[in-house]
Homo-oligomer: A and B are copies of this chain.
């Protein structure tokens, strides 16, 4: 486990007003948990380590969250909501070039800024979605159906080639998330260095160009 034990430490001047304490500690713990779950997986993570990263005693953490599983559940659901919101880029776009282009930009930015969340999500799904299954069957299914219909509309309007909308969505998810989930591999192949600003721009452009051309939109 490479996570430094340096506590994240409470944001500067600590407001001690009762209401804020709960709010503040919960987000502190959730951040620490996301990091540790991403690095070690659910099974490999320990409550003690999460507490260390959050800079709190373990018993205090378990005062806010009833159990490790409860905490994990909260982390996963937060990520899910976050992603769903970030996906609005697809809507309200006149066509695939703008819509899918913006979606790729947004997803790549998330992979860059929140790789931990992406990893936790990937881990959850890979292990059969034990805690998020209901969301997959309801919210995600609706979301997917809606966007597939949108893509189909674009196809019918002659704005892009007749590709299978579902498989296009899978390709979008796969390609963009790869930069987070397999970031370590990419970093290693990049000479051990994280992608630079320039390289991230190039990555975004590569992905956008290949996919937009791949669906006959440019």
Which A residues are closer than 8 A to B by beta carbons? 2, 38-45, 119, 122-123, 125-129, 133, 136-137, 140-141, 144, 161, 163-164, 166-168, 170-171, 173-175, 177-179, 181-182, 184-186, 188-189, 192, 202-203, 206-207, 209-216
A206 to B192, CA, bound (A): 34
Cβ B39 vs Cβ A42 within 8 A: no
Q: How far is the CA of A78 from the CA of B41 in the complex (A)?
A: 22
A138 to chain B, nearest CB (A): 10
A45 CA / B178 CA spacing, docked (Å): 25
A-B contact pairs, 21 of them (CB 8 A): A40-B43, A43-B44, A44-B127, A122-B126, A122-B181, A122-B182, A125-B184, A129-B184, A129-B188, A164-B206, A168-B206, A171-B206, A171-B210, A173-B178, A174-B174, A174-B175, A174-B178, A174-B182, A213-B213, A213-B215, A213-B216
